[in-house]
Chain A
């Protein structure tokens, strides 16, 4: 089965081709069903190929497909190891559920089949990214997910804000990719190959400490762009302009975690540079904290979740930064479930509210949409870190491993605990404003439960969010052992002994409960506060980071572009071209009097010419 793992990529890719040419004919819901089936097929392939790993055999398999760029020694080869398997299962599993949900959510959209084309393209690209066995395929997948993300964010491109958001995501990602690309060049210049196996094996011997730090940091620039970490996080909140299933699949569960995956995959390089790992962890925890505070002030239900995603990704980077790679991936895995669930739940709410996204105009929805409400409560408690739901185990694992490193790392742990409190707070705010309190919606809105096809994915994801944590508890580190073969030779940071772990877990649960309690006091028992002070406005606008970038980067850039367009191009280049034309016209005007139109003038000219020629010939002959 492992040799057939390429099928996991080929199926959705085939779906893209079929949908591209026959999508319109397949219509509704045919196109959606086809898209869902191809991704489900990928999931089955991945699951079948993972069976060996569950049995404890974690040996990595490299599946060679064909020569790709012989000049660079680059082959199309896939790496099937526990890390790839875990990522593939998350991508295809959550992907299938979200495809299923979209069949109903996107109903009656004008470009229904095109939506599934893009969604399938995304799944195929993401699988290339996680399955590639060299940096070449990683980069191809990396760019392709960026493309599909762009296409899907600006899916409703007739809305100017959606078109702008798509461009913003693409451009900000380009900045990250710039760093990534330089890292790839250094890697190729040093090792002469892009293959993971060769690079990681020789990394310790070939790379100097400085070069290792440079490569790791440049790779992290790419990861920060893709995973929306400071200071490149600005595109993700705007990406919520896309359809909600897109936000759930790409901008919560899978694509944005590509950066975490990349850091984990290149762990061998980060091992060589304590500086780079420290930067990853620090940026991660600052992002986690900062985004959590911003999430507190958002009014748009999807933007709360977007900042929450940035914050949770920060946790993952904290995990991989402190060397707890398995814990980081574990959080990636649990987060995929509960955050996809939250987004799909939010989509369900928005669907019911006829497109309303402002939480100030919701409220009291729990009676109208019991299934959405029930499943979202599970996700809410999971992200808040309430045991025994999945989020508790993974978040706690990361925080415990951070604490165990001791020294200055304890500060990061403390910030992590505060962030856990904030997480519980903003999620409770979202839940209370949406589902409890008095209804505040407009008269013409009639909330209703979503159709069955949308509820099924919610229920499945709720089940996963509920129990996903038990695969990796401090007593039984199943997931960690599953992943360990992928990190062979790398020192993994572990959670402390069970005694300390208990204390840490109790502290983090208490932080979560404190957040919940405060939110209950503030948002449940009282009418929603207006939150209009300067501080709230400051927080709601994400500390005006967008404006700062606008003033310092975008405006000078636009000025430069305007200068190029209106001065350098229109005056310089066009001037040169027009100048040639002007010169020819002036010369023509000078010569024009010669063309009188009288035959006799021409005759005279011929005559004179002949005489001159004759005189010349004769005089030359010496006569």
Chain B
């Protein structure tokens, strides 16, 4: 199986994620879309690593997963807190800091 399919899948996943971030208003959904984009990138790393016979791709993926995990912890905590205080998670309503 050539790396091209993996790359194509990754591109599709990334596009779905990006559309999600841009089109949805719910912070939680946007967050999930970001995860999707991250994982699309991970997929390209792994595919490229295998194609090139290098371990570097997998190393990079491990780093991304660690950072993503940390990010999920912080991000979800913020979203949950916001939801508790404002009973909404719509990003358009959270405009208090907007200039």
Contacts and interface: CB of A to CB of B under 8 A. Distances in A.
- Same complex: yes
A598 B21 contact: no
B92 A603 contact: no
B65 interface: no
A603 B98 contact: no
Interface string A576-617: 000000000000000000000111100110010000000000
B22 A607 contact: yes
Interface in A12-63: none
Interface string B9-49: 00000000010011100000000000000000000000000
B23 A607 contact: no
Contacts of A607: 18, 22
Contacts of B23: 600
Contact of A604 (B22, B91, B95, B98): B22
A168 B25 CA distance: 78
Contacts of A604: 22
Contacts of B21: 600, 603
B91 A599 contact: yes
Contacts of A598: 92
A600 B98 CA distance: 13
A603 B20 CA distance: 11
Interface centre among B22, B23, B95 (most CB of A within 10 A): B22
B16 to A, nearest CB: 13
Interface in A459-490: none
A53 to B, nearest CB: 87
Contacts of B22: 600, 603-604, 607
Contacts of B99: 597
A608 to B, nearest CB: 10
A275 to B, nearest CB: 81
Nearest to A599: B91
Interface in A157-183: none
A448 to B, nearest CB: 80
A568 to B, nearest CB: 42
Contacts, number: 14
Contacts of B92: 598
Contacts of A597: 95, 98-99
Contacts of B95: 597
B32 to A, nearest CB: 15
Interface string B86-99: 00000110010011
A430 to B, nearest CB: 82
A598 B22 CA distance: 10
A327 to B, nearest CB: 88
Contacts of A603: 21-22
A604 B19 CA distance: 9
A614 to B, nearest CB: 11
Interface string B74-95: 0000000000000000011001
Contacts of A600: 21-23, 91
A600 B22 CA distance: 5
A64 B21 CA distance: 90
A599 B98 CA distance: 10
A601 to B, nearest CB: 9
Nearest to A598: B92
A51 B23 CA distance: 108
B2 to A, nearest CB: 15
Nearest to A610: B18
A600 B26 CA distance: 12
Interface in A346-396: none
Interface in A409-461: none
A597 B99 CA distance: 8
B82 to A, nearest CB: 15
Nearest to A603: B22
Nearest to A597: B98
A599 B94 CA distance: 11
A607 B17 CA distance: 12
A603 B98 CA distance: 16
Interface string A181-194: 00000000000000
B68 to A, nearest CB: 19
B66 to A, nearest CB: 25
A300 B26 CA distance: 94
A603 B21 CA distance: 8
A598 B99 CA distance: 11
B90 to A, nearest CB: 12
Contacts of A599: 91
A599 B99 CA distance: 12
A604 B22 CA distance: 6
Contacts of B18: 607
A612 to B, nearest CB: 14
A187 B99 CA distance: 72
A597 B98 CA distance: 7
Nearest to A605: B22
Contacts of B98: 597
A604 B24 CA distance: 12
A603 B23 CA distance: 10
A607 B21 CA distance: 11
Nearest to A602: B22
Interface in A43-93: none
A604 B21 CA distance: 9
Interface string B40-78: 000000000000000000000000000000000000000
Nearest to B30: A600
A511 B30 CA distance: 116
A158 B55 CA distance: 94
B60 to A, nearest CB: 20
Interface string A263-294: 00000000000000000000000000000000
A115 B21 CA distance: 83
10 contacts: A597-B99, A599-B91, A600-B21, A600-B22, A600-B91, A603-B21, A603-B22, A604-B22, A607-B18, A607-B22
Given A597-B98, A597-B99, 12 more contacts: A597-B95, A598-B92, A599-B91, A600-B21, A600-B22, A600-B23, A600-B91, A603-B21, A603-B22, A604-B22, A607-B18, A607-B22
Interface of A: 597-600, 603-604, 607
The 8 nearest A-B residue pairs measured at CB? A600-B22, A604-B22, A603-B22, A597-B98, A607-B18, A603-B21, A607-B22, A598-B92
